[in-house]
Amino acid sequence: MPKTEVREAAVRGASTRRVAWLLGPAFVAGVAYLDPGNVASNMTAGARFGYLLVWVVVIGNVMAWLIQYLSAKLGIVTGLSLPETLGRRIRSPWGRRAYWLQAELVAMATDIAEVIGGAVALNLLFGVPLVWGGLATGVVSLALLVLQSRGGARPFEFVVIGLVAIIAIGFAYGVFIAPPDGGAVVGGLLPRFEGTDSVLLAASILGATIMPHAIYAHSALARDRFRSGGSDAGFGTRRLLRATRWDVTIAMAIAGTVNLCILLLAAANLAGVPGTDSLEGAHAALAQNLGGMVATLFAVGLLASGLASTSVGAYAGAEIMHGLLRVRVPLVARRLVTLVPALVILAIGVDPTLALVLSQVVLSFGIPFALIPLVAVTARRDVLGEHRNRPLTTAAGVVASVFLVTLNGILLWLVFTGG
């Protein structure tokens, strides 16, 4: 090979490695799309309605791509997270505190769901009592947060990506063992409902998919990796944004595929099986119908889901407080405080699956407070300059916001009216 071709190949290889270095923040934020709340919602949807709500998972993932990209773009271009941006734009101290309070409640609800999911997984795998399982989940998440605070963003990303791989294997394995009906999957892409309960589950799937804390966290993760607008990485802002689109695309493709696999696994093997409206019941039904290996991998995936997502939730909560109140609380201290409500819920004997569902209701309250400001600020020239949203992007963001807020409003109405 001529020397010029060798040099060109070396340059291309170096460029590919440098682009690969930029990947990671979306994988960490994307863990929110693979948390125990997603598992509970998708398993229940598949077990109760078969392939009916496949379209909800697909649409939710498409909207998630747009939302997470806008969040990352804000962090890259401005060097500020969404909470920091809003903290500067909300002039009233009481307004900032009120906004912080709702965002903090959302972050705590997220923490509760993740710890409960980890506790249920340890109980399924090893028979560990739920309280001790929740405590163990909290301890492991503490270790991950120490890694993030002391080792920096990159080692934390590597660990989370490893957990994402475990989650993917754990939840996708059963689909290959017992494949779904291809024609039924295609039929499930047609948007429709079958009664009030299917609307409730559709809203739950979207509420568990597009989480407010993931929006807050992604802007902060991108800021931390590319704080100086790209100079640290040797890339310009435009190239960073192109790499970020790939990052978000890959992360959302993985998250969407895994969520779809969970629903298809339940639709193909648990439809009509009694007792599958809880994680414990679904695990038992999988063991009975598909064997111990599938059930064990399901529990392992649930454990990895709880461990990874609870760390990201604590990171988001700390960023919310810092950005809005300008108070920096150590991640470890915050993790200890937010661990208490989850342990109390487990200790008093609240049904874990019910607690997960209720946590998604709390998250539904927070969606408009994160989503609407995100679309608004990323459309402003005085915030993003030449990188502000194009009119079509803003229009898509508005449509997604209206759809999500409306569906979550329906969810809340159904929950509180018993409809």
Q: What is the pLDDT of residue 128?
A: 93
Which residues does 384 contact at the CB level (< 8 Å), separation at least 6?
A: 73, 74, 77, 78, 377, 378
- Of the pLDDT bands very low, low, confident and very high (cuts 50, 70, 90), residue 46 is very high
Q: What is the pLDDT of residue 236?
A: 82
Q: Look at residue 337 in the predicted model and tell me its pLDDT.
A: 79
Question: How many Å apart are CA 331 and CA 318, to the nearest integer?
Answer: 6
The end-to-end CA distance of the chain, in Å, is 72
Give dist(CA 304, CA 311) in Å, integer: 11
Q: What angle is formed at CA 306 by the lines to CA 303 and CA 307, rounded to 5 degrees? A: 85
> What average pLDDT does the segment 116-139 reach?
92
Give CA torsion, residues 215, 52, 358, 298, to 10 deg: -80
Question: What is the pLDDT, as a whole number, of residue 32?
Answer: 79
Q: Which of residues 6 and 131 earns the better pLDDT score?
A: 131
User: How many residues can be counted in the chain?
Assistant: 419
- What percent of the chain has pLDDT above 70? 89
Q: Which residues contact 145 (CB under 8 A, 6 or more apart)?
A: 311, 314, 315, 331, 332, 335
pTM of full prediction above 0.75: yes
Q: For position 150, what pLDDT does the model report?
A: 78
As a whole number of angstroms, the distance between CA 240 and CA 238 comes to 5
If you average pLDDT over every residue of the chain, what do you get?
A: 84
> Where residue 281 falls among pLDDT bands split at 50, 70, 90?
confident
Residue 88 has pLDDT above 90, yes or no: yes
| pLDDT interval class at 329 (50, 70, 90) | confident
- Please report the pLDDT score of residue 355 as a whole number: 81
Cα separation, 56 vs 203, in Å, equals: 9
pLDDT, position 23? 67
Domain boundaries, the chain: 3-417
The residues, any chain, with a CB within 8 Å of residue 382's CB and separated by 6 or more, are none
pLDDT beyond 80 at 336: no
**Residue 409: CB partners within 8 Å, gap ≥ 6?**
none
At what angle are helices 93-126 and 331-347 packed, to 10 degrees?
Answer: 60
Per-residue confidence (pLDDT) for residue 7, from 0 to 100: 40
Residue 228 has pLDDT above 50, yes or no: no
CB count within 10 Å of CB 352 equals 24
| Crossing angle (nearest 10°) for helices 352-378 and 93-126 | 140
Q: Averaging pLDDT over each range in 23-32, 69-78, 111-120, 263-272, which range is the top one?
A: 69-78
229: pLDDT confidence band, cut at 50, 70 and 90? very low
Instruction: Go through 293-324 and write b for each residue having 16 or more CB atoms within 10 A of its CB, e for each that does not.
Output: ebbbbbbbbbbbbbbbbbbbbbbbbbbbbbbb
Which of 148-162, 199-213, 256-270, 399-413 has maximum average pLDDT? 256-270
Distance CA 67, CA 90 (A): 22
Residues 374 and 63: their CA atoms lie apart, in Å, by 13
- Residue 238, CA distances (Å) to 18, 76, 157, 211 in order: 15, 10, 23, 27
Higher pLDDT, 8 or 340: 340
> Could you tell me the sign of the dihedral formed by the alpha carbons of 370, 372, 376, 378, in that order?
positive
Q: What six digits make up the tokens of 335?
A: 């993790």
CA distances from 93 to 75, 86, 319, 325, 377 (A): 23, 12, 18, 9, 20
Following CA atoms 17, 386, 82, 91 in sequence, which dihedral angle do they give, to the nearest 10 degrees?
160
Region for residue 152 given its phi and psi (left: phi exceeds 0; alpha: psi -120 to 50; beta: otherwise): left
pLDDT digits (tens, 9 = 90+) for 105-117: 888 888 888 889 8
Question: pLDDT (tens digit, 9 = 90+) per residue, 91-102?
Answer: 999 999 999 999
The distance from CA 244 to its chain's CA centroid, rounded to whole angstroms, is 17
Note the pLDDT of residue 85.
96
3-417: what fold? Amino acid/polyamine transporter I (1.20.1740)
Residue pLDDT, tens place only, 365-398: 788 899 999 999 999 999 999 999 999 999 999 9
Please tell me the predicted confidence (pLDDT) of residue 249.
Answer: 93
**pLDDT digits over 145-157, tens only?**
777 777 767 787 8
Residue bearing the bigger pLDDT, 15 or 341: 341
> Rounded to the nearest 5°, which phi and psi values hold at 351?
-55, 125
